[in-house]
């Protein structure tokens, strides 16, 4: 749609260029170039820079029959206009990229590239509403790394960071595109599994648990995982409620000896 607007606007400016003759419209040509660079891509912005110059040359030849239209000075002016559009297009593309990076950093954990707590809550609210609307089950799992502090103390924080990245990589290799993974704390992760009943959730989490244990053994990291998960048949309206339940189940697993998975199916809406 944006490309269509840019093409139409460029055509209109070309017609206006023919009608007005000697008046410079280069600032207005910047509009389709900037729109293409901002909303489409850097390459598209550069392509529209070339299109503008083509339109400008055609407009000059159409509206002028004098010597100046074909003079080296006129061509030089058009070249300068092209450089102006090119620089502005690159600036718009760079600004858009920086803004996107800032937004991404605000939403994601910089180490593991998972969602942060705030972003998780935003997406979880959407999934809760969808589950309520279509009467779908919803599962949330809270994962805590047992003895993670010992890895940092004995092997250094770099080893701890590598461990966290390995944990996320293992989980990501198993989750679906619709599932939501977030880092909630230093060694705590939450997975939201939309449209996932209890039996499917327990099978999935047992698989994740086994693969995490294998990954830690391979890397000789002496940690285990305590997982608490809850499947809601009737989903409550509060994200805090579903997180709190999974968190409590995780602590029950931790206090029960660690390296355990505790799952609970909740058939009625819990209020909290």
pLDDT of 80 reads: 86
Distance CA 228, CA 264 (A): 8
> Would you please indicate which residues are annotated as catalytic (active-site) residues?
187
pLDDT of 65 reads: 52
pLDDT of 172 reads: 95
Q: How far is CA 269 from the centre of its chain?
A: 31
pLDDT of 272 reads: 44
Which superfamily does 117-266 belong to? Reverse transcriptase/Diguanylate cyclase domain (3.30.70.270)
Q: Hey, where are the domains in the chain? A: 2-106, 117-266
pLDDT of 213 reads: 95
pLDDT of 140 reads: 97
* pTM value surpassing 0.75: no
pLDDT of 248 reads: 96
Q: What is the 3-state secondary structure (H, E, C) of the chain?
A: CHHHHHHHHHHHHHHHHHHHCCCCCHHHHHHHHHHHHHHCCHHHHHHHHHHHHHHHHHHHHHHCCCHHHHCHHHHHHHHHHHHHHHHHHHHHHHHHHHHHHHHHHHHECCCCCCECHHHHHHHHHHHHHHHHHHCCCEEEEEEEEECHHHHHHHHCHHHHHHHHHHHHHHHHCCCCCCCEEEECCCCEEEEEEECCCHHHHHHHHHHHHHHHHHHHHHCCCCCEEEEEEEEECCCCCCHHHHHHHHHHHHHHHHHCCCCCEEEEEECCCCCC
- Return the structure tokens found at 90: 């690159």
- Nearest Cα neighbor of 179 from 196, 154, 198 is 196
Run means of pLDDT, 10 residues per run, the chain, 272 residues: 86 84 79 89 90 84 58 74 90 86 76 91 93 94 94 88 96 94 93 95 96 93 95 92 95 94 80 45
């Amino acid at each position: 749609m944006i490309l269509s607007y840019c093409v139409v606007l460029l055509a209109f400016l070309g017609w206006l260029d023919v009608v007005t003759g000697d008046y410079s419209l280069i600032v207005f040509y910047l509009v389709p170039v900037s729109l293409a660079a901002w909303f489409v891509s850097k390459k598209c912005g550069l392509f529209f820079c070339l299109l503008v110059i083509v339109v400008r040359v055609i407009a000059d030849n159409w509206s002028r029959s004098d010597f100046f239209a074909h003079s080296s000075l006129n061509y030089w002016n058009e070249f300068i206009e092209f450089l102006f559009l090119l620089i502005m297009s690159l600036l718009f593309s760079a600004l858009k990229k920086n803004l996107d990076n800032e937004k991404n950093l605000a939403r994601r954990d910089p180490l593991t590239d998972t969602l942060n707590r705030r972003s998780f809550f935003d997406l979880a609210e959407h999934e809760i509403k969808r589950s309520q609307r279509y009467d779908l089950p919803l599962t949330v799992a809270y994962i805590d790394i047992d003895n993670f502090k010992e890895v940092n103390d004995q092997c250094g924080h770099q080893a701890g960071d590598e461990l966290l990245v390995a944990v996320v990589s293992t989980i990501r290799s198993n989750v679906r595109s619709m599932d939501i993974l977030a880092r909630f704390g230093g060694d705590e992760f939450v997975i939201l599994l939309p449209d996932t009943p209890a039996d499917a959730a327990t099978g999935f989490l047992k698989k994740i648990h086994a693969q995490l244990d294998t990954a830690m053994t391979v890397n000789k990291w002496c940690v285990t995982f305590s997982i608490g998960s809850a499947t809601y048949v009737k989903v409550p309206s509060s994200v805090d409620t579903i997180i709190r339940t999974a968190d409590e189940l995780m602590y029950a697993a931790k206090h029960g000896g660690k390296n355990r998975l505790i799952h609970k199916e909740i058939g009625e809406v819990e209020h909290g």
